[in-house]
Amino acid sequence: MKSPIILASTSPFRKHLLTEVGLTFSTAAPDVDEREIEGRAEHQHLSPEQLAELLACEKALAVSRRHDGALVIGGDQVMALGDRVYHKPKDMAAARDQLLSLRGETHTLYSVLAIAKDDEIIWRRVSLAHMSVRMFSEAFLDDYLEKAGDKILKSVGGYQIEGRGLQLFSAVEGDYFTIVGVPLLPLLEKLRQLDVLHA
């Protein structure tokens, strides 16, 4: 009997992506304190990549402890410019400040997926995307913020690459699924290796 798959997330977007590629799974909230984990990571001087990995693993483990035998998928994404880690902007003014700080710079998205089973991490994968923001004008920025609206407050960095946010960039290195925070290709390959999906 194949192990059931649980997505340790209540994100409708992540659920949609996994459903669209044909996975059969349930979802469960990880109920972890991300700010506490980030505080611990800062104290330990973890890199943005290590932070993303820690968050993904903690989410997978939290749900795994409640579901014996299940394959639990946890994921997280950290956005950083150098050592500065970005969070979802609290309001439109904060979004504007964030985008101005990214102008003319290349930042990195660290997207991590981890699989836990019986309270043990059995697989993890870090995928990177490098995002080069163009030297946009402030007139463009004001127009962008007005037209994109407060839905950008749900996105780290204040943009959604799948929409109007694409106009902020001059170059992007990395696959689409890494950029949106769910690197599906390595996940599907691992699930085939685990005999959950047909090879």
Secondary structure, 3-state, the chain:
CCCCEEECCCCHHHHHHHHHCCCCCEECCCCCCHHHHHHHHHHCCCCHHHHHHHHHHHHHHHHHCCCCCCEEEEEEEEEEECCEEECCCCCHHHHHHHHHHHCCCEEEEEEEEEEECCCCEEEEEEEEEEEEECCCCHHHHHHHHHHHHHHHHHCHHHCCCCCHHHHHEEEEECCHHHHCCCCHHHHHHHHHHCCCCCC
Pick the catalytic residue from 31, 76, 91, 118: 76
Q: Is 76 considered catalytic here?
A: yes
Residues recognised as catalytic: 76
